[in-house]
Chains A and B, each alone.
Chain A
Amino acid sequence: MASNAENIENLVGQSYEAGFYTDIEQEMLPPGLNEATIRFISAKKNEPEWLLEWRLKCYQQFLSLTEPVWANVTYPSIDLQAISYYAAPKRDEDRPKSLDEIDPKILETYEKLGIPLQEQKVLAGIAVDIVFDSVSVHTTFREKLAEVGVIFCSFSDAVREYPDLVRKYLGTVVPARDNYFSALNSAVFSDGSFVYIPKNTRCPMELSTYFRMNAENSGQFERTLIIADEGSYVSYLEGCTAPMRDENQLHAAVVELVTMDDAEIKYSTVQNWYPGDEDGKGGIYNFVTKRADCRGKRSKVSWTQVETGSAITWKYPSCILRGDYSVGEFYSVALTNNLQQADTGTKMVHLGKETKSTIISKGISAGKSENAYRGLVRVGGSAENARNYTQCDSLLLGDRSAAHTFPYIECKNPTAQIEHEASTSKISEDQLFYLRSRGIKQEDAINMIVNGFCKEVLKELPMEFAVEAQKLLGISLEGSVG
């Protein structure tokens, strides 16, 4: 909003308390956003000059942008000056090398959140890069991945160890000026993950990152960059949980994916951040920019998301189908309950010849929630024989929730084929009675019907993730039917 931008500009003009941002021992930055904040973050992370300059340039672009208002969500204006932009866990220098070295209290929190890290490490062979607040505290399996040349590390490490790769791709998929939140992220991003899959390499395991937020008043600004070089493949899992809390927290992440010729990235998300309580108090504001650039011929990106958390979700994982014969897929389940609001969907931009995209979106609205699908299919003049299939289904529970569909189609090539199917239904009394008459409790029956409704999307998730997602849908619907 304009007033916000003015505030920011006023504050930028103010002098900062001398010496504050040179104090490298400082573990938490006091709330506030200005150029000094950015310099502090960059200095704290020992970033090279080019990155600081990039951040500052992005910050200038951010100042020229305003908060978007077109989404079907309402919330009070966010005071960016009330957010702290850097928080690191204690004993930063003393990074643990294995789980045994991690504070048992932290492990306990993860256990409570249902993230059996130990088990996953051993049983599933998943490499886990945990982002605890802003700094990555743990990376496993890195050596094993290194054997095949796969780079999977925190973003900060990547800046230090692979600066050329980072510099080559950072901001090339989501330019800072893309939108208000992506510009903010570009200026102040804390940490995140970096993945590089070399040519003709199939990543030997699923890469998984668990995110969470903990520290008081700390906004989280994750930055993820995944590059799949020619003929490579990677499956990347992102799961998110957040502890109970009362204050709204802003989360503005940016995820950039790049696929070269014949490369494929499968990106799966289960998002379960704190949605706020039944009265809409608290909860995460999840304003995320995720985009894939299918640069190479025959490359493919598949987004699968299960969104059950956050007070507000504003998220459109997109594909730019630049390479000829490239393929984009978007499978989404968005569930809203109580006073949650979701405005989510995708953009499929067809630029190359014979490009193909599939969109399957399942929206479930319960309580008094608002759930919107917003999707753009754009076919450029050069995209001969582009094809898109879109299916958007909405399921309503109760009579106080709402479902909306905003499909946009822009087609500049007459050879394109675009299909759109949409349905809205209420959970059927007949189905409920059928299951209950078989001995299944009402709540379980609803879960079963909802899970069935989402089946087409859930089956796109890796096995363990699908099970987790199913449980999550059940938990998220608790108390939705009286």
Chain B
Amino acid sequence: MLEIKNLHVAVEGKEILSGINLTVNAGEVHAVMGPNGSGKSTLSHVLAGKEGYEVTKGSILFKEKSLLDLEPEERAGEGVFLAFQYPIEIAGVNNVYMLKAALNGIRAYRGEPELSSVQFLKMVKDKVKAVGLDEGLLNRQVNSGFSGGEKKKNEIFQLSVLEPTLAVLDETDSGLDIDALKAVADGVNKLRIATRAFIVVTHYQRLLDHIVPDFVHVLSQGKIVRTGDKELALTLEERGYDWLAEENLV
């Protein structure tokens, strides 16, 4: 589904990613771990198409299309979704209204008819329960006045409505207490299906207790330095990242 080859990315002339190779198939959950500054968020942003990142080398193929040639909204249309580490507040814009515009934008990209308000609201009511988001938040302004946990749940709720084939979760666990973490992870687990892949970017192993990955990749200084299964995450929890960095030097 997703094939990242020898990806080099620079920000303001400074190289952040230095040759990432990663293949993700449908149904898989890949965790990308690494210390601060290793390039985790850069990878998420480049996948979603944020401006300010210069791809100097390499390619990203998504369902055989070059993702790098597409605008962010086109990537969404192709089925890419990014759950933000810091979801953005947009004053005066209703949460559900935004989501309806998003879904219909994606449907238009795919040549599908728009959903009517009635159809849309019915679907939303079902999904909001599934992710455990307070229904009252639906009609609030986008992320405005939401608690940290509510913001992250809102991201997962959006994921459930937009139904991407590739969901990138950027440090979804940051700033969450353990109950909120569990709730968010439960939401994600319900959305794991055979046709959908996840890339879970996280600093800490604790999220992976709840969202159990098929693969764990360790990112360090812009490169994937180790790939393993969920056991690798546990080792990291125990020994920290320095151990890998040292081993790599050897």
Contact = CB atoms under 8 A, between A and B. Distances in A.
Interface of A: 428-431, 433-442, 444-445, 448-449, 451-456
A435 B82 CA distance: 11
B92 A437 contact: no
Contacts, number: 82
Contact of B105 (A439, A449, A451, A456): A439
Contact of B76 (A429, A430, A431, A437): A437
A437 B84 CA distance: 10
A453 B141 CA distance: 11
Contacts of A451: 92-93
Given A438-B76, A439-B109, A441-B73, A452 B101 contact: no
Given A434-B87, A436-B72, A437-B82, A452 B93 contact: yes
Contacts of A436: 49, 71-73, 76
Contact of A434 (B51, B84, B92, B99): B84
Nearest to B109: A439
**Closest 8 pairs (CB-CB, A-B):** A452-B92, A455-B92, A439-B76, A438-B102, A452-B93, A439-B106, A436-B72, A434-B88
Contact of B92 (A435, A441, A454): A454
Interface of B: 48-51, 71-73, 75-77, 81-82, 84, 87-88, 90-93, 98-99, 101-103, 105-106, 109, 141-142, 158, 162
Nearest to A430: B88
Contacts of B50: 433, 437
Contacts of A431: 88, 90
A296 B72 CA distance: 57
A439 B88 contact: no
A452 B141 CA distance: 9
A79 to B, nearest CB: 43
Nearest to B107: A439
Given A433-B50, A433-B51, A452-B141, A442 B73 contact: yes
Nearest to B82: A437
B162 A438 contact: yes
Contact of A440 (B48, B88, B101): B101
Given A433-B51, A439-B109, A452 B76 contact: no
Contact of B73 (A428, A430, A440, A452): A440
